[in-house]
């Protein structure tokens, strides 16, 4: 690894670890006290206005059932609105290219995808969506789905922090505050910086440009085209969407090429900031958790466990990408400094690998390189990061509540081993808690493995572009992504068939709401429970030992569930590449 690469990595980690505590503390204030300093004074009146306009009574707390119903109803309405927009965009304004409405199944898939914070894109943004849809539909859902995840997490944290309480907070208040005080200011800030770096933000239609070089359309498919006519550059209000796509772990690009597109990610600084934004809020939420339960160390342990898993994955991916493909040796195609196939030269091997691991560790899914072209092990890491249940940072809110379910399982096993009814933060972990945590952990496994099995048996198997193990990897990646609300893909898979649009939508729904419901039930049960004061006999959950145990539990569950599938995909690819 070159010095600039090493500096980039070090800076990245330093920025992540340095910025997350203050942001986490700030968010804890948002959920606990209502109005945070400064921003609260600025936007407080707006918050009040929203409550009055919507008839929300902010002081009225909800039990978990009401909270869950509100969440579901709100998301259902959001999904229907988005579906309507996608279907009717041809008749709506801000459509300079005169695009038509989307196909029903694809629109359904897209609506589910954006409501569930997945942002799986089975379409190309610049040629399929109007600016109206991009802004009012997708960007809006980018904010709302992220805020939904954060609200759900806030409820779970309150469940752990409260004692003998019948309520877990007010969903609409949590939603509005997440939006107003966290997501909007951060997204505004980031979009301004991105615009300064050259990310496009305009309502203008395409622009004709004359390239310096002749563009070649598919080597060997005919004569060069566009030599005189030039090229049509797609434009649009990208910066505002790109900021929230990263901050809200959404990942849906404005352009099809996502953050590999020069107009979506033009400079090293924009690349660094976007990559940082992917993990920033999920990391900061760990500190929010620590602050809200009154023990910062508990938050640090979770953050460090996530970081350990992230760094292990990153190490493997960096190594695999740097090693490249030995099969190219002697063909005059020797790679300098690693595998560059499918990568932006300006981003480089390290920058691409870092992004690939970060975007899959968090359930973001934006890309700055083509994951399909990663080396087998370099592609295994993003796949595994998703398959671990998107708990290594994970989605905003959803990553931490998923991780907390793994914590409950770890606490349960460890608690038994020390000879006490397991308890976490003073709450006894009994049959109900384990049942809910198991549901949360199991749901994504089903959402990934069942559709993958369907996709590789029968006629749908033809959808992948590659024969052999890599074809299987593509399918496995697609459902690992949808079944964990990530949204990134191994391109080269034709994901427009009904199995992928409809089955994928089901996987995304399960991964989002089948998790949110047990999490809220858990929040309700924990809030209602008594709290046991800790003593020397209680298992300490802020120690390195517990951190290690948590990492082991996450890894073992993920590895045991996906080892056979991975063995038939990337592992075989890797071994075959080595010439075994």
Partner 1 sequence: MSKSKRRRPRIDAALLSEAVWASLVKLSPKAQVRNPVMFTVWVGGVLTLGLYAHSLLAPLGEPPGFILAISVGLWFTVLFANFAEAVAEGRGKAQAAQLRRTRQTIMAKELPITGDPPRPDSPHRLISSSDLQTGDLVLVEAGDLVPGDGEAVAGVASVDESAITGESAPVIREAGGDRSAVTGGTRVLSDWLIVRITARPGETFLDRMIALVEGAQRGKTPNEIALGILLAALTLIFLLVCATLLPFSQHAVAQAGQGRPVGLAVLAALFVCLAPTTIGGLLSAIGIAGMDRLIQKNVIAMSGRAVEAAGDVDVLLLDKTGTITLGNRQASAFVNLPGVEPRQLAEAAQLASLADETPEGRSVVVLAKEMYGLRAPDLEQVTAFIPFSAQTRLSGVDLPGRSIRKGATDAIRKLVAGQGGHFPEVVEAVVAQVAKEGGTPLVVADNGRVLGVVWLKDIVKGGIKERFLELRRMGIKTVMVTGDNALTAAAIAAEAGVDDFLAEATPEAKLQLIRDIQAQGRLVAMTGDGTNDAPALAQADVAVAMNSGTSAAKEAGNMVDLDSNPTKLLEIVETGKQLLMTRGALTTFSIMNDVAKYFAIIPAAFVGTYPALGVLNFMGLATPQSAVLSAVIFNALVIVGLIPLALKGVRYRPQGAAQVLGRHLLIYGLGGLLVPFAAIKLIDLILVGLGLV
467 binds partner 1 (CB under 8 A): yes
295: left (phi over 0), alpha (psi -120 to 50) or beta: beta
Q: Could you tell me how many residues of this chain bind partner 1 (CB under 8 A)?
A: 68
Task: Name which of 98 and 530 has its Cβ closer to partner 1.
Answer: 530
C-beta separation of 246 from 364 below 8 A: yes
C-beta separation of 119 from 249 below 8 A: no
Task: Name which of 126 and 423 has its Cβ closer to partner 1.
Answer: 423
Owner of token pair 């039990």: 63
Residue range at the interface with partner 1 (CB under 8 A); choices 40-48, 268-276, 427-435, 503-511: 427-435
CB of 91 to partner 1, least distance (A): 43
Query: 204-216 b/e with 16+ CB inside 10 Å = b?
Result: eeeeeeeeeeeee
Q: Is the dihedral of CA 340, 344, 346, 351 positive or negative?
A: negative
User: Could you say which of 62, 301, 320, 441 contacts partner 1 (CB under 8 A)?
Assistant: 441
User: Could you say which of 80, 124, 328, 563 contacts partner 1 (CB under 8 A)?
Assistant: 563
| Strand, helix or coil for residue 369 | strand
500 binds partner 1 (CB under 8 A): no
User: Could you say which of 472, 477, 500, 513 contacts partner 1 (CB under 8 A)?
Assistant: 472
CB of 324 to partner 1, least distance (A): 19
User: Could you say which of 205, 438, 491, 502 contacts partner 1 (CB under 8 A)?
Assistant: 438
204: CB partners within 8 A, 6+ apart: 96, 235
Q: Is the dihedral of CA 82, 84, 86, 91 positive or negative?
A: negative
Burial class (CB in 10 A: 0-12, 13-18, 19+), 568: middle
C-beta separation of 133 from 97 below 8 A: no
CB of 265 to partner 1, least distance (A): 35
| Strand, helix or coil for residue 458 | coil
CB of 401 to partner 1, least distance (A): 18
492 binds partner 1 (CB under 8 A): no
Q: Which of residues 529-548 bind partner 1 (CB under 8 A)?
A: 530-533, 535-540, 543, 545-546
User: Could you say which of 138, 235, 409, 515 contacts partner 1 (CB under 8 A)?
Assistant: 409
Task: Name which of 346 and 420 has its Cβ closer to partner 1.
Answer: 420
465 binds partner 1 (CB under 8 A): no
C-beta separation of 199 from 266 below 8 A: yes
567 binds partner 1 (CB under 8 A): yes
Distance CA 407, CA 441 (A): 11
Q: 3-state SS string over 265-282?
A: CCCHHHHHHHHHHHHHHH
Instruction: List interacting residues with partner 1 (CB under 8 A).
Output: 409, 412-422, 426, 429-431, 433-435, 438, 441-442, 445-446, 449-450, 452-454, 456-457, 461, 467-469, 471-472, 530-533, 535-540, 543, 545-546, 549, 552, 556-557, 559-561, 563-565, 567-568, 571-572, 575-576, 578, 580
């Amino acid at each position: 690894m070159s010095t600039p690469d090493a500096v980039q990595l070090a800076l990245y980690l330093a920025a992540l670890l340095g910025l997350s505590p203050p942001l986490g503390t700030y968010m804890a204030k948002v959920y606990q006290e209502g109005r945070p300093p400064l921003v609260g004074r600025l936007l407080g009146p707006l918050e009040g206005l929203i409550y009055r306009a919507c008839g929300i009574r902010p002081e009225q707390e909800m039990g978990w059932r009401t909270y869950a119903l509100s969440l579901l109803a709100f998301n259902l309405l959001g999904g229907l609105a988005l579906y309507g927009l996608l279907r009717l965009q041809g008749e709506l304004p801000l459509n300079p290219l005169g695009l038509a409405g989307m196909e029903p199944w694809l629109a359904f898939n897209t609506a589910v995808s954006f409501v569930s914070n997945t942002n799986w894109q089975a379409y190309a943004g610049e040629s399929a969506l109007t600016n109206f849809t991009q802004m009012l539909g997708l960007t809006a859902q980018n904010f709302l789905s992220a805020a939904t995840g954060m609200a759900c997490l806030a409820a779970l944290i309150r469940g752990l922090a409260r004692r003998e309480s019948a309520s877990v907070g007010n969903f609409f208040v949590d939603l509005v505050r997440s939006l107003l005080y966290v997501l909007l200011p951060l997204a505004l800030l980031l979009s301004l910086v991105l615009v300064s770096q050259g990310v496009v933000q305009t309502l203008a239609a395409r622009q004709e440009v004359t390239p310096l070089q002749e563009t070649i359309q598919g080597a060997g498919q005919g004569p060069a085209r566009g030599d005189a006519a030039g090229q049509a550059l797609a434009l649009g209000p990208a910066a505002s969407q790109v900021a929230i796509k990263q901050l809200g772990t959404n990942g849906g690009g404005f352009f099809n090429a996502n953050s590999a597109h020069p107009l979506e990610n033009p400079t090293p600084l924009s690349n660094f900031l976007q990559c940082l934004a992917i993990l920033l809020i999920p990391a900061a939420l760990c500190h929010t958790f620590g602050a809200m339960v009154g023990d910062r160390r508990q938050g640090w342990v979770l953050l460090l466990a996530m970081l350990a898993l992230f760094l292990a994955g990153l190490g493997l991916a960096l190594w695999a990408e740097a090693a490249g493909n030995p099969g190219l040796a002697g063909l005059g195609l020797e790679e300098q400094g690693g595998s560059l196939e499918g990568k932006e030269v300006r981003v480089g091997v390290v920058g691409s690998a870092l992004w690939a691991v970060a975007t899959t560790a968090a359930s973001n899914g934006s890309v700055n390189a083509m994951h399909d072209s990663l080396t087998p092990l370099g592609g295994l890491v993003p796949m595994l990061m998703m398959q671990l249940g998107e708990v290594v940072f994970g989605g905003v809110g959803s990553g931490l509540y998923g991780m907390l379910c793994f914590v409950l399982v770890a606490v349960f096993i460890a608690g038994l081993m020390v000879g006490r009814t397991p308890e976490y933060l003073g709450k006894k972990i009994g049959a109900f808690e384990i049942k809910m945590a198991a549901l949360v952990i199991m749901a994504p496994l089903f959402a990934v493995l069942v559709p993958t099995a369907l996709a590789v048996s029968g006629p749908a198997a033809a959808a992948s572009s590659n024969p052999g193990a890599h074809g299987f990897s593509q399918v496995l990646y697609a459902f690992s992504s949808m079944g964990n609300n990530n949204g990134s893909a191994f391109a080269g898979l034709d994901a427009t068939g009904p199995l992928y649009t409809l089955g994928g939508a089901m996987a995304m729904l399960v991964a989002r709401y089948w998790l949110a419901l047990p999490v809220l039930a858990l929040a309700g049960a924990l809030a209602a429970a008594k709290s046991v004061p800790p003593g020397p006999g209680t298992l300490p959950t802020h120690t390195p030992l517990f951190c290690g145990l948590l990492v082991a539990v996450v890894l073992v569950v993920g590895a045991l569930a996906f080892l056979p599938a991975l063995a038939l995909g990337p592992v075989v690819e890797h071994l075959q590449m080595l010439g075994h």
